[in-house]
Amino acid sequence: MRTRILGISGSPRSGGNTSILITTALEAAAKQGAKIEFIELAGMNIDICEHCNACTDLGRCKKDDELNKIAETMLTADGIIFGSPSHYASLTTLLKNLLDRTGRFIHLEGKVGSGIVVGRRSGTDIVLSQLLFFMLVKEMIVPGSAFWPVGFSLNVGDIRSDTEAILMASQIGKRVAQLAATLVRNPVPWSVEPRPVGQKVRFGDEWK
């Protein structure tokens, strides 16, 4: 069975630097035999999380916007590569909304996760940390790369000159695909355990 690797660009610019790095990673994943999917959040209508908790009973968000379609794709992915530019040293609003809206009800546990970040000058490490914090608390499994997957660019396409960032994105895609293929054959226990609908959060191994 081919593994499914999903790349999500949280940039508000379609075809921007984040998208270039994410598609570079996905191309490397495809070379490993993975089925790749790419979503750009640019131009999408994704409202904010209201913390109503309805998703814990419904298994989806009650808001009927474009989020639920993305959530379905995330659910079927074996590995997800999140990408964001640094916006005032933070994840973009678009990607943060996606994480807030889906993090509570999508079973990401045991999936492979990775983050790729771009910025003109500063805040990229903070953004990478934000993504790592999310992936770790969702019990995703994060492969490393030979250098941190961070690139520097201002205008659309500038990232192509950051050859080290292109190389790291490529390595991330390859590692995510390789690890996902291994875990599809040999899943970790917490990836196959379904999240009981109606249960809110996990404390240790117990759902409350």
Ligand X SMILES: Cc1cc2nc3c(=O)[nH]c(=O)nc-3n(C[C@H](O)[C@H](O)[C@H](O)COP(=O)(O)O)c2cc1C
Residues near ligand X (CB under 6 A)? 11, 13, 16-18, 85-89, 118-123, 153-154, 156
Record the tokens describing residue 36, joined without a space: 């790749």
Smallest distance from ligand X to CB 116, Å? 10
Complex with ligand X: residue 79 or 123, whichever CB lies closer: 123
Assign residue 28 a region (left: φ > 0; alpha: ψ between -120 and 50; beta: otherwise). alpha
Give me the half-sphere count of Cα atoms (radius 13 Å) on the Cβ side of residue 2. 12
Complex with ligand X: residue 117 or 180, whichever CB lies closer: 117
Cα 157 to Cα 20, 36, 63, 166, 207, distances in angstroms: 8, 22, 35, 12, 45
Smallest distance from ligand X to CB 87, Å? 4
Smallest distance from ligand X to CB 95, Å? 11
Complex with ligand X: residue 13 or 195, whichever CB lies closer: 13
Q: What does the alpha-carbon distance between residue 176 and residue 198 come to, in Å, rounded to a whole number? A: 31
Smallest distance from ligand X to CB 9, Å? 7
CA dihedral 62, 67, 73, 75 (to 10 degrees): -40
Give me the half-sphere count of Cα atoms (radius 13 Å) on the Cβ side of residue 52. 13
Complex with ligand X: residue 68 or 90, whichever CB lies closer: 90
Complex with ligand X: residue 94 or 140, whichever CB lies closer: 94
Residue nearest to ligand X (CB): 16
Complex with ligand X: residue 41 or 61, whichever CB lies closer: 41
Smallest distance from ligand X to CB 49, Å? 21
Give which of 128, 163, 162 is closest to 10, Cα–Cα. Answer: 128
Smallest distance from ligand X to CB 91, Å? 11
H-run or E-run covering 5: strand 4-9
Token pair 């192509």 in the structure block, residue: 160
